[in-house]
Structures are given as C-alpha cells and as structure tokens.
Structure 1
Amino acid sequence: MTRKYDKEFKLHAVQLVLESGKPASQVARELGVSQKMLYGWVTKYKEDPATPFVGCGP
C-alpha cells in the first residue's frame, strides 16, 4: 500500500532539508520516508516554490 503525504508534511520535510543543515538522508530517516521520495519533493519545490504540491495528498 502506498502512503499518501499531505502538502503540509511535504513542505515541512522540504524545509527541514533546505533550512536545518541536516543531510537529506538523515531527514528522510527521521520522517520515515525514502530518500528518493524526499529528493523528489525538494525538486518539485525548487521548480515552483509558490505552488509546489498542487493536487497532492488527501
């Protein structure tokens, strides 16, 4: 079963990567998500920071 993450969770995760100084691998481990997924969220955010996760999650 694929878990869905809401926009707020994704934004929180991206902000941790970009602002905390922690490596993405550590943030992914702490949040219980894969590094690949987290990197994808960071990429989406960087492409369009104003509306990065349109239509994602419940």
Structure 2
Amino acid sequence: MQAFLNKDDCIGCGLCPQICPEVFEMEDGEDKAFAKDVKITDELKDSAKEAEEACPVDAIKIS
C-alpha cells in the first residue's frame, strides 16, 4: 500500500501528519503536506486510512 497526496488540492490543514506522522509530513517552507515515500504496513494501515478520511478536501488516496 502507498499514500498519494494531491498538493494542488491540499489546503495545509495539518490533519494528516497529526493522525499519521509515519506517512505524512508538512512541507518545509510551504503550507502543504506531502506523503512520504514509505510502504504502508499493516501497522500503519488504520491510521493512514483515518488520515485519508479526515482530509477535508479529499486530497489523499491510499491504495
């Protein structure tokens, strides 16, 4: 599983790194988040999906 985050849609609310910091991080010097290049393991799956569902602009896709 991998996380994808559309930076064009991201509003920089910061929810995804709060919910799943192992997968998401805020971009230094920008008000946008990004998905780290990590494989989403079974241990991270629930929190990554929670971040996807919490995104107010549906910028995150987990697949």
Larger CA Rg, structure 1 vs 2 = 1
Give the TM-score normalised by the residue count of structure 2: 0.27
TM-score, reference length from structure 1: 0.29
Select the structure that is richer in strand.
2
